[in-house]
Amino acid sequence: MTSKIKLLLASAAIGLALSACGATDSVTPETQISLPTGVTLVETVSPATGDQVVIPYTKYKLDNGLTVVLHEDKSDPLVHVDVTYHVGSGREEPGRSGFAHFFEHMMFQGSENVADEEHFKIISESGGTLNGTTNADRTNYFETVPSNQLEKMLWLEADRMGFFLDAVTQQKFEVQRETVKNERGQRVDNRPYGLLFERVGEAMYPEGHPYSWSTIGYLEDLDRASLTDLKKFFLKWYGPNNATLTIGGDMDPVQTLEWVKTYFGTIPAGPEHDDPVFEPITLDQDRYISLEDNVQLPLIYMAWPTVHANHPDEAPLDVLANILGQGQTSLLYQSVVKPGLTVQASSGHGCREIHCTLTLLGVANPAKVQKLGDLEAIMREAFTEFEARGVMDDDLTRVKSDIVSGMIYGLESVSGKISQLAAYETYRDNPNGIGDDIARYEGVTKADVLRVYEQYIKSKPAVVMSIVPKGKPEMIAKADTWQRYERTLPDFSGETDEFNWTRPTDPEGLDRSVMPEPGPNNPQIKAPDTYEFSVGDGIEVLGARNTEVPTTTISLRIKAGQSHETLDKLGLAAMTAGLLNEATTERTVEELSNELDKLGSSVSFNGGDTFSTMYIRTLSKNLDATMAIAMEKLLKPKFDQVDFDRDKANALQGIKANKKEASGVASNLFNKIMYGTDNPTAYAGTGTEETVENITLDDVKAFYAAHYSPKIASIVAVSDLDEAAMKKALAPLSQWTGDDVAAAEMKPFPQLSGGTLYFVDKPDAAQSEIRIGKRALPYDATGEYYKSNIMNYPLGGAFNSRINLNLREDKGYTYGARSFFNGDEKGGWYRAGAGVRADATAASIVEFVNEIRSYHEDGATAEELAFTQASLGQSDARAYETPRQKLGFLSRMSTYGLKADHVDEQAKILEGMSKADMDKLAATHLNLDDMIMIVVGDKAKVYDEVAALGYTMVEIDADGNPI
At 918-951, the pLDDT tens digits run 999 999 999 999 999 999 999 999 999 999 999 9
Amino acid at 483: Q
Distance CA 932, CA 674 (A): 9
CA distances to 75, 142, 316 from 150, rounded to whole Å, are 16, 12, 41
pLDDT per residue as tens digits for the range 507-530:
888 999 999 999 877 676 678 889
Max intra-chain CA distance, the chain: 81
Distance CA 105, CA 177 (A): 9
Work out the average pLDDT over 853-879: 89
Work out the average pLDDT over 30-52: 80
Residue 618: phi and psi, rounded to 5, are: -160, 155
CB 216 within 8 A of CB 90: no
pLDDT per residue as tens digits for the range 713-745:
999 999 999 999 999 999 999 999 999 999 999
Residue 50: which pLDDT band, with cuts at 50, 70 and 90? low
**Helices and strands: H and E segment counts in the chain:** 32, 25
Residue 155: which pLDDT band, with cuts at 50, 70 and 90? very high
The helix (run of H) or strand (run of E) holding residue 882 is none
Residue 32: which pLDDT band, with cuts at 50, 70 and 90? low
Which of 303, 345, 296, 302 minimizes the C-alpha distance to 192?
A: 296
**pLDDT for res 408:** 84
**pLDDT for res 877:** 63
pLDDT per residue as tens digits for the range 832-842:
999 999 999 99
Burial category of 931 from C-beta neighbours within 10 Å (exposed 0-12, middle 13-18, buried 19 and up):
buried
- When mean pLDDT is compared across 392-401, 821-830, 832-841, the lowest value belongs to 392-401
CB 856 within 8 A of CB 912: no
CATH superfamily name and code, 756-955: Metalloenzyme, LuxS/M16 peptidase-like (3.30.830.10)
Which of 181, 185, 194 minimizes the C-alpha distance to 295?
A: 194
Say whether pLDDT at 272 is over 80. Answer: yes
The CATH architecture annotation of domain 287-410+429-475 reads: 2-Layer Sandwich (3.30)
Work out the average pLDDT over 7-16: 28
* % the chain with pLDDT above 90: 77
Say whether pLDDT at 20 is over 50. Answer: no
Distance CA 774, CA 778 (A): 13
Say whether pLDDT at 17 is over 60. Answer: no
Residue 401: which pLDDT band, with cuts at 50, 70 and 90? confident
pLDDT per residue as tens digits for the range 285-296:
999 999 999 899
**pLDDT for res 253:** 95
CB 631 within 8 A of CB 732: yes
Pinpoint the residues of the chain covered by CATH 3.30.830.10. 3-264, 287-410+429-475, 530-735, 756-955
pLDDT per residue as tens digits for the range 635-674:
999 999 999 999 999 999 999 999 988 999 999 999 999 9
Which of 627, 660, 874, 641 minimizes the C-alpha distance to 760?
A: 660
Cα pseudo-dihedral 181, 185, 187, 193, rounded to 10? 140
Say whether pLDDT at 330 is over 80. Answer: yes
**pLDDT for res 500:** 74
pLDDT per residue as tens digits for the range 226-264:
888 888 999 999 999 999 999 999 999 999 999 999 999
Residue 15 pairs in a beta bridge with: none
**pLDDT for res 402:** 84
CATH superfamily name and code, 530-735: Metalloenzyme, LuxS/M16 peptidase-like (3.30.830.10)
pLDDT per residue as tens digits for the range 414-439:
999 999 999 999 999 999 998 888 88
Class of domain 3-264: alpha beta
**pLDDT for res 406:** 84
Distance CA 523, CA 249 (A): 12
**pLDDT for res 562:** 96
Helix residue ranges per DSSP H, 111-225: 118-125, 150-162, 170-184, 196-204, 219-224
Round the average pLDDT of the chain to a whole number and report it: 91
pLDDT per residue as tens digits for the range 536-560:
999 999 999 998 889 999 999 999 9
CA angle (772 as vertex; 934, 784 as ends), nearest 5: 145
Cα pseudo-dihedral 333, 334, 335, 340, rounded to 10? 70
How many Cβ atoms from other residues are within 10 Å of residue 395's Cβ?
A: 22
Beta-carbon contacts of 928 under 8 Å, excluding residues fewer than 6 positions away, are 754, 849, 852, 853, 856
Which of 435, 438, 427, 349 minimizes the C-alpha distance to 400?
A: 438
Residue 499: which pLDDT band, with cuts at 50, 70 and 90? confident
CB 950 within 8 A of CB 755: no
CA angle (522 as vertex; 518, 523 as ends), nearest 5: 120
**pLDDT for res 280:** 93
Residue 891: which pLDDT band, with cuts at 50, 70 and 90? very high
Distance CA 684, CA 307 (A): 43
Say whether pLDDT at 30 is over 70. Answer: no
**Helices 862-874 & 902-912 angle (0-180, nearest 10):** 160
Amino acid at 453: Y
Say whether pLDDT at 617 is over 80. Answer: yes
Distance CA 389, CA 332 (A): 13
Beta-carbon contacts of 231 under 8 Å, excluding residues fewer than 6 positions away, are 165, 168, 499, 501
pLDDT per residue as tens digits for the range 456-495:
999 999 999 999 999 999 999 999 999 999 998 888 877 7
Residue 503: which pLDDT band, with cuts at 50, 70 and 90? confident
Amino acid at 907: A
pLDDT per residue as tens digits for the range 70-111:
999 988 889 999 999 999 999 999 999 999 999 888 888 889
**pLDDT for res 878:** 67
